[in-house]
Structure 1
C-alpha cells in the first residue's frame, strides 16, 4: 500500500509541476511515515546519497563550462571549426557539428553547448542566409554530443550510481560521440544538397593555421582532461579541477577576457546549478533506497527475463523505458531513478554496465530534444527568439540519425566497449 502511494504521489507531484527534487523527497517522506520508519532516515539517506568524492566533479565541470562561455573561448572554437570544415556544402551546418564536438571535450553538458555555442552558431547561420528551422535543428541535435564525448556530467552521475569506473565510461563515450557527429554531418550534407546551401568560402590553409593557433590553447583542454585520466595522472574529479584552473588561466592571464565581476557571476551561476543537481541526487537516493528495499528491481527483472532471455530484445525494452522517462523528466533525475532499476536487470542478462551507461545517456539526450521537457529546446527558443513549437518541428528530422546511432550501439556493443577494453582491461 505504501509503495503504491509513493508512485501515485510522485506522478501527481510531477504532473502539477512540483520540482523533481521536492517531488521525490516528499513522496519518499510520506512512504517513510506510512511504513512507521524513523523520520531521520530521510535526512540520513539524502546526506549519504551525495557523500561521494566523484560527485565533486559536477560543480567543477559546470564551472569550467561557464568560464569557457564567459571568457569568449567558444567564439575561438567556432572560428577554428569554420575555417576547418566551412568549405563543405552547407558549410556552417558542418561547422555547427564540429564546434560541438570540440566544445564537448570542455563542458560535458548539452545545455551549456546550446546556450554558449548556440547563440554564436545560429546568429552566423542566419547572417549567411540559412533557414531558421535548419539552423535551430542542427544546433539542438549537435548539442547532445556534449554529454557523450568525455568529460560528461551525466556519465559521472551514472558512474557513481552504478559503481562503474568513470574513466571507462569516458573512454566508452568517445567513439559513439564521433559517430553522432558523423551521422549529423551526413544529414547536413543531405539538407545542403536539397536546399542548395552554399559553401562558407573555399579551403584556405593560411586561415586554418591562423585560427588553429588562436584556438590552440583552448583545444588542449580535452587533451588535458581525457589524457590525464587515461594516463592515471589524475582522477575524473581532479580532472574537473584541472579544467577549471586551466579555464581561469586562459580567461584571466592569456586572453584577459575575464575579470572579477565575471568570476562572481559565474560562481553564483555554478552554485545555483550544482545545488539543484545535488538536491535531485540526494532526494533520488531515498527513492532508490525504497525501491531497493522493496526489491522492485528484482521483481521487474524477473518479469522481463520471464518474457524473453534475448539480450537485444531486453535492451530495446529498457531503452523504451528510458525514453519514456526521458520525455517527462530532466536527465539527472532520470539517471538517479533509472539506474537502481535497470542495472540489476542488465547484470542478470549479461549486459555490460559500461555499455548500458552509454545507451542510457544517449537515450536521455533524445529526451532533451523532445517535448514536453526538452531543456535544449527551451534554451534554443530563448537564444534564437523562435517559438518552442517551431524548435520542436525543426529538430524532429535530426532525431533520425541520432536514433540510428543509438540502435547501432545497442546491437554492436563493441562500438562503445572497444576503447575502454583496450585502455583499461
Structure 2
C-alpha cells in the first residue's frame, strides 16, 4: 500500500511538470510525514542519505571530466585526431566516413560526452564529407550514431554516475566493460559505413584524392608530431585508471591538467586566460550536479527501506518471466524513457529501482548497467530529447524527421549490441573483479 502510494505520488508530480529533483525530495519526505515509521524510514534517514550523496567523489569526478572535455574541444584536439586517421585511410574507398567514426570514438574517449562528441566532430567532419561528395543525410546520420558513443566509451560521466547511484559497483570494472561495448558498436558502425559506400558509391573520388594529396603534402612524421598529444590523451587517462595508478577522480584531474598543458603550451590554440574562461563557464554546473547525486541517493535509500525492488523481483519470479524477456523488457523501458526524457534523469530514476531487482534475481549487474548506458546513449539519437540529433540538425541543416528516418538502421544496430551484451554477461566476465 505504502509503496503503491509512493509510486503514484512520485509519478503524478512528474506528470504535472514538477522538476525531477523536486519530485524526489517531496516524495521521500512525504512518506514519513504521512505514514510515520510504517514506511520503513524516518526523516533523519532522508537527511543522512542526502548528506552521503552530496559528499561522494562521483560529482567531483564527473565535473572534472566535463571541464577537461570542454578545454580539449576549444583546444582543437579534434582536428589533430582527424588528420592522423585521414592521412592513412582517407584515400581508400569508403574510408572518409570511417575516419569520421574513428575520430568520434577517440574524441568520445576524451570528452566522455555524446553531445560534446557530436558537436566537436560533427562540426568539423560534416562539411568535409559533404564537400567530398558523400550523401548529406548519410554523413549526418553516421556522425550522430558514432557521436552518441561518447556516452559509452570511457571515461564516461554516465558510467561514473551509475556507479555512484548503485553505491556498490566498481567504476573501473564498468569502464573496462564499456570500453569493449563501445568499441564493438563503433566497429559495427564502421562496417555499415563501408558497405554503404560499396553499394551507393564513394562520393567524389577526384575531390577525395585532392583532399588526400593536400594532407599528404606534409610528411607523416609532421602530422603525427602534431597529433600525438591528442592520441595519447585517452591512453594516459584510461591507462592510469586500468593500471591502478590513479582512481577515477585523480584521472579526471589529470585529464584536466593535461588538456590545459597541451592546448596552451603545445598546440597554442588557447591561452591560460581562455582556459580559465572555459572553467568559469562550466563551474556553475557543479552545484546542481551535487544536488542531483544527493537526492538520487535518498531516492535509492527510500526504495530499499520500503523493500520495493525485492517485491518487484519476487513478482517477476512468480510470473515466470524468462531471463531473455526480462532483459529485453528492462532495456526497452530504459530506451523508451531515454527517448521521452533526458537520459540522465531517466537513469537516476530507474537505476536505483532496477539494480536491486537484478541483485534479487541473481543477475550479473555490471554488464547490464553497461547495456543500460548504451540504451541511454541511443536515446540521444531520437526525438524529442535526442541531444546528439539536435546538435547535428543545427550543424547540417537537415530536418529532424529526415535525419531520424536515416538513423533507423543505425539505431537498430546499437539496440542489438546493447541487448546482446545485456543478455550474455559472460562476454564481459573477464573484467569482473
**Fold shared by both chains (TM-score > 0.5):** yes
Which protein is bigger by CA-based radius of gyration? 2
Structure 1, unaligned stretches of length 5 or more? none
Correspondence for 2:357 among 345, 354, 359: 345
Question: Which whole-Å CA distance do the structure 2 matches of 1:19 and 1:197 have between them?
Answer: 48
Q: 1:12, CA displacement in angstroms?
A: 4.5
Residues 68-113 of structure 1 show CA distances to partners (whole Å, capped at 9, x for unaligned) of: 0011111111222222332333333111210011112211111110
Q: Is the 8 A contact 1:77 1:215 kept in 2?
A: yes
Question: Which whole-Å CA distance do the structure 2 matches of 1:7 and 1:73 have between them?
Answer: 46
Q: Is the 8 A contact 1:75 1:120 kept in 2?
A: yes
Q: Is the 8 A contact 1:309 1:349 kept in 2?
A: no
Correspondence for 1:246 among 253, 258, 265: 258
Residues 184-209 of structure 1 show CA distances to partners (whole Å, capped at 9, x for unaligned) of: 01211232123212354379697554
Secondary structure class of the residue paired with 2:110: coil
Q: 1:167, CA displacement in angstroms?
A: 1.0
TM-score by structure 2 length?
Answer: 0.88
Give the aligned partner of residue 228 of structure 2.
216
Question: Which whole-Å CA distance do the structure 2 matches of 1:85 and 1:345 have between them?
Answer: 46
Give the aligned partner of residue 191 of structure 2.
186
Structure 1 residues 69 and 193 mapped into 2: Cα distance closer, same or farther (>3 Å)? Answer: same
Instruction: Report how many residues are paired.
Output: 421
CA RMSD of aligned residues (A): 2.6
Secondary structure class of the residue paired with 2:362: coil
Question: Is 2:81 the counterpart of 1:77?
Answer: yes
Q: Is the 8 A contact 2:97 2:139 kept in 1?
A: yes
Structure 1 residues 285 and 54 mapped into 2: Cα distance closer, same or farther (>3 Å)? Answer: closer
Residues 354-410 of structure 1 show CA distances to partners (whole Å, capped at 9, x for unaligned) of: 112211111111111122221222222233333333332232221122122223313
Q: Is the 8 A contact 2:84 2:227 kept in 1?
A: yes
Q: Which stretch shows the higher mean deviation, 365-374 or 257-266?
A: 257-266
Structure 2, unaligned stretches of length 5 or more? none
Mapping 1:8-407, distance limit 5 Å: 8-15=8-15, 17-31=17-31, 33-35=33-35, 43-162=47-166, 163-198=168-203, 200-201=208-209, 208-308=220-320, 310-407=322-419
Question: Which whole-Å CA distance do the structure 2 matches of 1:255 and 1:206 have between them?
Answer: 17
Structure 1 residues 43 and 177 mapped into 2: Cα distance closer, same or farther (>3 Å)? Answer: same
Residues 257-279 of structure 1 show CA distances to partners (whole Å, capped at 9, x for unaligned) of: 11244223311332244444333
TM-score by structure 1 length?
Answer: 0.90
Question: Which whole-Å CA distance do the structure 2 matches of 1:348 and 1:205 have between them?
Answer: 61
Q: Is the 8 A contact 1:183 1:405 kept in 2?
A: no
Question: Which whole-Å CA distance do the structure 2 matches of 1:398 and 1:262 have between them?
Answer: 37
Question: Which whole-Å CA distance do the structure 2 matches of 1:20 and 1:10 have between them?
Answer: 9
